[in-house]
Amino acid sequence: MIFSRLLKQGRHFWRLAEMRLLFLALLVAVVAVTSVGFFTDRADRAMSAQATQLLGGDMVLVSTRPLNKKYLIEAQQRGMGTAEVVSFPSMVSSDDKFQLAQIKAVSKDYPLHGKIETSLESQGVIEITSVNSLKNDEVLADGRLFVALNAKAGDTAQLGSSKIKLKKIIRKMPDQGSNAFQFAPKMIIPLEQLPATGLLGAGSRASYSFLFSGDSSQVKSFSSWLKPILEKQERLRTLDDGLPAVQQALARGQRFLKMASLLAVILAGAGIALSSYSLTRREISSVAVLKTMGASRRQILLRYLGALVAVALLAATVGAIIGYFIQSYLAVYLQSFVGQTLPSVGFLPVVIGLATSLIMALGFSAPHLLQLIKTSPIQILQRSNSVAKSSLIFSFFSLAIAVFLLMWLQTSDLKLSAYLLVAVAIALGVFWIIALLMLKLVRKLAEKWPLPKANKRMALMVVVFGVGLFSLLLLTTLRGDLINRWQASLPDDAPNHFLINIQPNEVEPLTKLLEKENVVMPIYPMVRGRLVEVNSKPITPNDAAFSENQRAQRLLTREFNLSANESLPEGNIIQAGQWFEPKEKNGFSMEQGIAENLGVKMGDTLTFDIAGQRLSETITSLRTVQWDSMKPNFFVMAAPSAFDGFPRTYITSVHLSEVNSNVIPTLVKQFPSVTDIDISAILTQVRELINKAAFAVQAIFLFTLVAGVVVLFSALQSQKALRRKEIAIFKSLGASRSLLRRNLLLEFAMIGGLSGFLAAILALIAANAAAYSLFDLSPELDLSLIAIGTLLGASLVSIAGYINVRGLLSIAPVSLFR
């Protein structure tokens, strides 16, 4: 009954051009939300999947003692995937050559995510090897081990009491992100070979881990089962922890995607508000007639509410279907980049699309609807078409609530929603005020020059186009920044080797050696110290304050790597206080996140125990660190010469290309104590991740761009009726087509230029605010954006506007009298 009434009312209103426009704007919003929703949902999961490959599973349990098998059994009963890893250092020998290797004894299902890529020669064809395929004595090993043992694939070697066969060279494997700083080359042996080596007796130094995989609900419920029964030495690692580099890249990408779809929705919102405004103007006389017939306010409300709901439902349905197809098209592309099967489409985006459509239709039209209901029936006799005054407060709340609900729906991220809500409110207010002021100016100027007469309608257009252009410019800037800086954070010459354990007396000759190879990198002293006191009070992992804070406990258990430098390391940003003066001896600079974790702040005094000596300094600055830079990063840095009297080694990271292939061998020969860590493989993995994220960002950006243009057209369309009348009047007064054309173009260019100008200024401010607080990127002022925005606005609106009204130029003035 209700449905058939909706259908009927929907059909009646469909005959109104304004309603069809409203539908179009809603459709754009729903398509944006659902396609972006479908797509980010899948891309998100694909990206997480990629990230879990770095971890080797969705969740890893690590311990220094053998783990209780009941954990594995429980996980298997829950239908999760499991694997076991025992990792320990051991000497491997072949003939007279010896090399310390990191042995990973793994069960046959290892790894749960990702693959082990191998080859027979160091640069040979890559193939996938499963642990299962390894026979009794066969093992896989890093290329460095082959080099050190002077062996080739198929050679034998000795591991403990076992004779092993070095079957293939490991080119890439999961689980590398987490142990990049294990210095020794890795070797993978099947777990069942482990007892035969006789290497693991009681008290051996080994790390035992269980890997688990499952869907997110399984992982969640399993980890809540697991957490309370963990032993003290057992530690859970998930994606949320321990992989700062990947995590930061991922979080930024996701925030951007959400922001992009949200802005698409706001764009469409502008279109909806505009078309519902013109629908109201049009329907006023109908409402007045209905009232003369005896329609009550309730009947009128239901009539228009019904029409809106019908249109919203239609838009949601059609939008979801289109959205699905768009995302599957995008997904095909993504897949070829990801090179793996994407997770299937979720149903949630459909629900979100439906909710979006209803919220937008009702929230953005409610103030207008209220005006309609208030229409006085006497108007119909007075031949006036005035809109009843609407309550500003009601309009404001209706819009604010709608916008907030939309943001919440889109992001489920309160910080981001609040940010955008405030930004939108400020943007609208500023737009409106400045637009009115500038149009006043134009009116003044029009007394001297033949400029279009400025009016309220133009102010409205400036606001609508301004908001649209603002969204687009904001996205353009952020997208560029994000991708540039992602890629800049890992440029082609990003360091791929860490050199550690450099003795103080080796710093100079080593620097010279590297300089000769044109490789220059900052070199940092490194001192290991345990944090023992804060403000002269002892601090331990067992403090009540850290009972729930695993990360703090871990930090306090192990030693910090302390460093010092004259200048602020690249990629670090000071958040509070000041970096050290040259030659300064006092103070600590602390990474912000770690300070928050430990509950310390500016001005607190920290005491470190460094090999029996104590060093107490006050925190004089807090900074953020670019974890994904692959450069040495330190939680705590001291004043430049603070460690002069302490035993210390030095660390540096360098980029070595093929050209420098002889550097490492020379270096190892000349400085036997220096350890080289090759992180090229991790770099490749992170780079792939970034490329995928960048592609997703580009794709969604392009869609928002298209949505913006569609809304631009629908905004213009909504003004068409008024323009038709105006043009007819001008023509009846004898205006020529060329004069009208010139005036229209001038008006559109003025509207567009003005909105582009305002949009660019605001986008510049917003982009920097967002870069700073949401994406942890350092702000950058690019003033050329203002020129670009103004030109873009003027040309875009002129072209679109002209195309839109071109047909009206040939309208016969006689149409006025019909």
Partner 1 sequence: MTKNSNVIETQNLNKSLAASHDGSNKSSSTETLQILDQINLKITQGESVAITGSSGSGKTTLLGLLAGLDVPSSGEVILLDKKLSSLDEDQRAALRLGKVGFVFQSFHLMDNLTALENVMLPLELDGKLKLKNNDIRQRAKDALSQVGLEQRTNHLPTQLSGGEQQRVALARAFVSNPTVLFADEPTGNLDSNTGDEIVALLFKMQQHNNTTLVLVTHDDELAEKCQTHYRIENSKIEIVRAADSVNKSDSKEKVEKEIVSRTEVSVS
Interacting residues with partner 1 (CB under 8 A) = 12-16, 19, 285-286, 288-299, 376-378, 380-383
Query: Please, what is the minimum distance in Å from the beta carbon of residue 761 to partner 1?
Result: 37
3-state helix, strand, coil in the chain (%, to 5): 55, 15, 25
Query: Please, what is the minimum distance in Å from the beta carbon of residue 271 to partner 1?
Result: 21
Query: Please, what is the minimum distance in Å from the beta carbon of residue 816 to partner 1?
Result: 14
Query: Please, what is the minimum distance in Å from the beta carbon of residue 294 to partner 1?
Result: 3
Using CA atoms, how far apart are residues 192 and 188, in angstroms rounded to an integer? 12
The residue among 135 and 818 lying less far from partner 1, judged by its C-beta, is 818
DSSP string, 495-546: --EEEEEE-GGGHHHHHHHHHHTT----EEEEEEEEEEEETTEE--TT-GGG
The residue among 270 and 307 lying less far from partner 1, judged by its C-beta, is 307
What does the angle CA 9 – CA 15 – CA 21 come to, to the nearest 5 degrees?
A: 100
The residue among 378 and 611 lying less far from partner 1, judged by its C-beta, is 378
Task: With beta carbons less than 8 A apart as the criterion, state whether 304 and 295 touch.
Answer: no
What does the angle CA 768 – CA 773 – CA 774 come to, to the nearest 5 degrees?
A: 95
Whole-angstrom CA distances from 318 to 4, 24, 217, 407, 474 are: 19, 10, 31, 22, 29
Alpha helices, DSSP H only, in 293-413? 297-338, 348-373, 379-382, 392-411
The residue among 13 and 701 lying less far from partner 1, judged by its C-beta, is 13
Q: What is the largest CA-CA distance in the chain?
A: 109
The residue among 14 and 408 lying less far from partner 1, judged by its C-beta, is 14
- Partners of 101 in the beta sheet? 90
**What is the CB neighbour count within 10 angstroms for residue 290?**
18
Query: Please, what is the minimum distance in Å from the beta carbon of residue 375 to partner 1?
Result: 11
Cα torsion angle, 172, 190, 160, 88, sign:
positive
Residues in the chain, total: 818
Whole-angstrom CA distances from 219 to 43, 73, 260, 493 are: 20, 15, 30, 38
The residue among 191 and 370 lying less far from partner 1, judged by its C-beta, is 370
Query: Please, what is the minimum distance in Å from the beta carbon of residue 441 to partner 1?
Result: 24
The residue among 286 and 795 lying less far from partner 1, judged by its C-beta, is 286
DSSP 264: H
The residue among 9 and 798 lying less far from partner 1, judged by its C-beta, is 9
Query: Please, what is the minimum distance in Å from the beta carbon of residue 1 to partner 1?
Result: 11
Kindly give, in sequence order, each residue whose CB lies less than 8 Å from that of residue 256, ignoring residues fewer than 6 positions away. Answer: 478, 479, 482, 697, 775
Query: Please, what is the minimum distance in Å from the beta carbon of residue 378 to partner 1?
Result: 4
DSSP string, 129-150: --GGG--TTEEEEEHHHHHHHT
Query: Please, what is the minimum distance in Å from the beta carbon of residue 447 to partner 1?
Result: 21
Quick one: how far is CA 814 from the chain centroid? 57
**What is the CB neighbour count within 10 angstroms for residue 552?**
20
Output the 3-class SS for 453-478: CCCHHHHHHHHHHHHHHHHHHHHHHH
Quick one: how far is CA 316 from the chain centroid? 27
The residue among 15 and 583 lying less far from partner 1, judged by its C-beta, is 15
The residue among 13 and 643 lying less far from partner 1, judged by its C-beta, is 13
Query: Please, what is the minimum distance in Å from the beta carbon of residue 313 to partner 1?
Result: 19
Query: Please, what is the minimum distance in Å from the beta carbon of residue 716 to partner 1?
Result: 21
The residue among 281 and 485 lying less far from partner 1, judged by its C-beta, is 281
Kindly give, in sequence order, each residue whose CB lies less than 8 Å from that of residue 670, ignoring residues fewer than 6 positions away. Answer: 509, 513
**What is the CB neighbour count within 10 angstroms for residue 305?**
18
The residue among 376 and 641 lying less far from partner 1, judged by its C-beta, is 376
Query: Please, what is the minimum distance in Å from the beta carbon of residue 389 to partner 1?
Result: 16
Output the 3-class SS for 91-110: EEEECCEEEEEEEEEECCCC
Query: Please, what is the minimum distance in Å from the beta carbon of residue 295 to partner 1?
Result: 5
Query: Please, what is the minimum distance in Å from the beta carbon of residue 348 to partner 1?
Result: 36
Is the link from the previous residue into 111 a cis peptide, with omega within 30 of 0? Answer: yes
What count of Cα atoms within 13 Å lies in the side-chain half-sphere of residue 813?
10
**What is the CB neighbour count within 10 angstroms for residue 84?**
18
The residue among 1 and 202 lying less far from partner 1, judged by its C-beta, is 1
The SS3 of residue 593 is helix
What count of Cα atoms within 13 Å lies in the side-chain half-sphere of residue 462?
29
Query: Please, what is the minimum distance in Å from the beta carbon of residue 273 to partner 1?
Result: 21
Residue 463 dihedral angles phi and psi, to the nearest 5°: -65, -45
The residue among 227 and 297 lying less far from partner 1, judged by its C-beta, is 297
Based on the number of CB atoms within 10 Å of its own CB, is 19 exposed (0-12), middle (13-18) or buried (19 or more)? buried
The residue among 383 and 583 lying less far from partner 1, judged by its C-beta, is 383
- Partners of 678 in the beta sheet? 497
The residue among 14 and 88 lying less far from partner 1, judged by its C-beta, is 14
Query: Please, what is the minimum distance in Å from the beta carbon of residue 293 to partner 1?
Result: 5
